[in-house]
Amino acid sequence: MDFRHLPTTVAAVASTAADALLVVVAGAKPPGDLPAALTRALQAALKQGDLVLEAGRTLYLGQLRGVKAPRVAFAVAADSTPRCLKSALAQGFALLKGLGGKHVAVWIAGAGALDAAHAEALATAGGDASYLYRHTKPSAGPSPKLARATLLCTRADEAAVSSGLQRGAAIVAGVTLARELANRPGNHCTPTHLAGQAQELAKTMKLEAEVLGRKEIEKLGMGALLAVAQGSSEPPRFIVLRYRGAADDPPVVLVGKGITFDSGGISIKPAAEMDEMKFDMGGAASVLGTLRAVAQLKARVNLVGLIPTCENMPSGQAVKPGDVVTSLSGKTIEVLNTDAEGRLILCDALAYAERLKPRVVIDIATLTGACVVALGHHRSGLFTPHDALAEALTRAGEGALDPCWRMPLDPEYDEVLKSNFADVANVGPRAGGAITAAMFLKRFTGKLRWAHLDVAGTAWKSGAQKGATGRPVGLLTHYVLAQANGV
């Protein structure tokens, strides 16, 4: 979707040329900043009971006398916060996208001054509304007709709105890329395909790409990554993507888990919902999406994406429970559960990240079902021993409407990872599983400023809305932009 803004006046809203006019009413009282024709229509709808000023309510009116747009719709927001406005905008776009119009103009009434966050909320809501997966589904039909959204604003708000739409459009592009990659089935999105997409992104966005195959990975000594990969006929890849936007500054490094399909290996998963394990490369997808967004915005920061990618499959060559493998760091790992494979490929990538002398390292992974039990599907799990980093990532998540929640890393949780046969076991007991997984990764971060995002509950949806969400591209992009601005 194309996002634009148009400075206007209250009186001129009714004469805006568009295929549809969406009026978002912020709050439980009729707003005072509506032109006469829209005020009359809203008052009549309220009087007749066709609309109630409650969050989530919408009304389609068609053509109104005194309004140039041939389609008029109302959507109600609980208040004027970006979070509530995004929800109302999503409802409004859903109401209009099945109709014939291509261009929707949006007027937010009762909100007062608009800022960049309001504009970004419009863009991200529009991006969600216009996304349609069709790569392996020809019957999905054509794209939604809505192709352009114009946010109407006052001249006083124009600069902030323009900035917010620019940022929002870049995040939407990154989220769309992440969703598209994660939604593709495992027989399409293999490690080789993921590496090819990274190289294509590098060409498009002027990044630097390096893809290591099995021989190069063996030469590096990434024994943990190779152990996970050895059960599959699909060869592993280690992807390094670089965006250079700030001379010789230390880079921000993002590490994304890229398990393109996770059967659990010898510790095989139950059959129910195993198909959703194609989403187990959601962390890798979010790294690619963030690089795309940051490059589009030409941020003054150095950003590196590291993606270890392979399949986790059972076979005669697969790693077995009880096997001991040697990681890139030199630490040995007793593999007690082959379904705890994400931390194995990540630990090698984290050890590699030290070579880059980074400013900060953040790994992103659909790592544990335990995190879903703890936090559900609204907030991603955040683990870091660094308070300032935790605050910065939390702030970025709130600003992007892509929230996370900090979880503990008390040293007592590390005790359960002791092994009689290796330096560390790859799992502990079931209790506190998301925390012990993070504690495992922490052992491979040395002196790094490091954070771990467990997105197992947020990277995709199940059920009737099954599909990738593209999270946490918004959170990561906000964080990287803050680093570029020295925040």
Q: What is the CATH number of the domain that holds 112?
A: 3.40.220.10
Of these residues, 292, 343, 443, 471, which one is catalytic?
A: 343
Q: Are residues 198 and 238 in the same domain?
A: yes
Residue 459 lies in a domain: yes
Tokens found for residue 56: 């989530």
CA distance 117 to 120: 5
- Give the residue from 78, 108, 182 showing the smallest Cα distance to 461: 182
Kindly give the parts of the chain with pLDDT less than 70.
487
Q: Tens digits of per-residue pLDDT, 60-113? A: 999 999 999 999 999 999 999 999 999 999 999 999 998 989 999 999 999 999
Q: What CATH number does the domain containing 180 carry?
A: 3.40.630.10
Q: Is 269 a catalytic residue?
A: yes
Q: Are residues 322 and 449 in the same domain?
A: yes
pLDDT at 487: 63
Q: Are residues 143 and 21 in the same domain?
A: yes
Of these residues, 4, 102, 242, 269, which one is catalytic?
A: 269
Read off the pTM.
0.97
Q: Are residues 195 and 108 in the same domain?
A: no
Q: Are residues 306 and 453 in the same domain?
A: yes
pLDDT at 55: 96
Residue 241 lies in a domain: yes
Give SS3 for 440: helix
Q: State which residues form the domain around 116.
A: 2-152
Strand ranges (E), 35-173: 58-62, 72-77, 103-109, 148-153
Residue 171 lies in a domain: no
Q: Are residues 7 and 113 in the same domain?
A: yes
Q: Are residues 134 and 269 in the same domain?
A: no
Helix 191-205 vs helix 158-183: crossing angle, to nearest 10? 150
CA distance 62 to 64: 7
Residue 60 lies in a domain: yes
CA distance 449 to 454: 17
Q: Are residues 221 and 336 in the same domain?
A: yes
Residue 268 lies in a domain: yes
Q: Are residues 141 and 189 in the same domain?
A: no
Give the C-alpha distances (Å, rounded to integers) separating 201 from 107, 168, 311, 451. Answer: 35, 19, 22, 25
Overall domain count for the chain: 2
Q: Are residues 184 and 123 in the same domain?
A: no
Helix 191-205 vs helix 282-296: crossing angle, to nearest 10? 10
Q: Which of 152, 184, 216 is the last residue of a domain?
A: 152
Q: Are residues 111 and 226 in the same domain?
A: no
Mean of all residue pLDDT scores within the chain: 97
Q: Are residues 83 and 209 in the same domain?
A: no
Residue 162 lies in a domain: no
Residue 454 lies in a domain: yes
Residue 168 lies in a domain: no
